[in-house]
Amino acid sequence: MPSSCPICEIADKVRAKRERRKDARPGELLAAALELFVEKGFAATRAEEVAKRAGVSKGTLFLYFASKEELFKAVVRENISGRFTEWNAEFESFQGSTADLLRYSVRAWWERIGSTKASGITKLMMSEASNFPELASFYQHEVIQPGHDLLRRVLQRGVDQGEFEPMDLKYGVYIVLAPMLFLAMWKHSLGTCSAAGMEIDPDHYITVQVDTILLGLTKRPATGAAPLNAKAP
């Protein structure tokens, strides 16, 4: 039977909150750190501010993370999780032309990563990779490699189905990747202080890029010539 005493209820809530908090602390700190690292970069983010945004004291931060660097590592580890299996499945079961699949893939990336805070991680890794080789390597295996594989399969599907010209797939993935990652970088760096008239509208940017790319990739009437993208012997 629930207590009807309002004060007790409040006290219960407070206690509950506190108990929940204890476990949640590292998570709250990581969330706050993600936000701030994305907003201001690693060096410019002050430990105290992370603590404040997580609602704890400076000391507590260092209770859970030995140093700001360790916090940074934890943030990246926490946030580069396994979207890939989900996407793999989606793409695997996609019905329709590969051109449409590519359009869909890019839009999906923008909606789920590019336009969210998660894209800040990309920017962050690009910015700080050289200072954290260990993290960079980690990111390489956990994010970049799977991402490339995914995209390569999309392109392979196009080639296999005769929709795309044969191509050097290793470099082909960059045809799609580069414009997208550039957009993410831009959004978090120079895009924030762009001159008037230079702002990028992401939707239009993506449309233009993908349309052009598709024109470049699409199978052309046979000419007997070697594929354009083949690496010179």
Partner DNA sequence: CATGAATGAGCTTTCATTCAT
Partner DNA sequence: GATGAATGAAAGCTCATTCAT
Number of H helices, E strands in the chain: 11, 0
Per-residue mark of binding to DNA, 69-108 (x: CB under 7 A): x---------------------------------------
197: left (phi over 0), alpha (psi -120 to 50) or beta: left
Residue 17 or 170: the one with the smaller Cβ distance to DNA is 17
Smallest separation (angstroms) from DNA to the CB of 65:
8
Which of a second copy, DNA, none is residue 193 near (CB under 5 to 8 Å by kind)?
a second copy
| Binding of DNA by 58 (CB under 7 A) | yes
Which of DNA, a second copy, none is residue 89 near (CB under 5 to 8 Å by kind)?
none
Q: Which of 38, 68, 91, 180 binds DNA (CB under 7 A)?
A: 68
> What are the two backbone dihedrals, phi and then psi, of residue 164, each rounded to the nearest 5 degrees?
-110, 155
Q: Which two tokens stand for residue 14?
A: 């407070």
Please identify which residue in the block is written with the tokens 């509208």: 201
Give the orientation angle of helix 202-217 with respect to helix 98-109, to 10 degrees: 150
Would you list the DSSP string of 162-190?
A: TSB----HHHHHHHHHHHHHHHHHHHHTG
Smallest separation (angstroms) from a second copy to the CB of 29:
21
- C-alpha span between 55 and 226 (Å, rounded): 62
Smallest separation (angstroms) from DNA to the CB of 93:
40
Per-residue mark of binding to DNA, 5-44 (x: CB under 7 A): ---------xx--xx-xx--x-------------------
Which of a second copy, DNA, none is residue 21 near (CB under 5 to 8 Å by kind)?
DNA
> What are the two backbone dihedrals, phi and then psi, of residue 96, each rounded to the nearest 5 degrees?
135, -175
Q: Which residues of this protein are in contact with DNA, per CB under 7 A?
A: 14-15, 18-19, 21-22, 25, 45-48, 51, 56-60, 62-63, 66-69
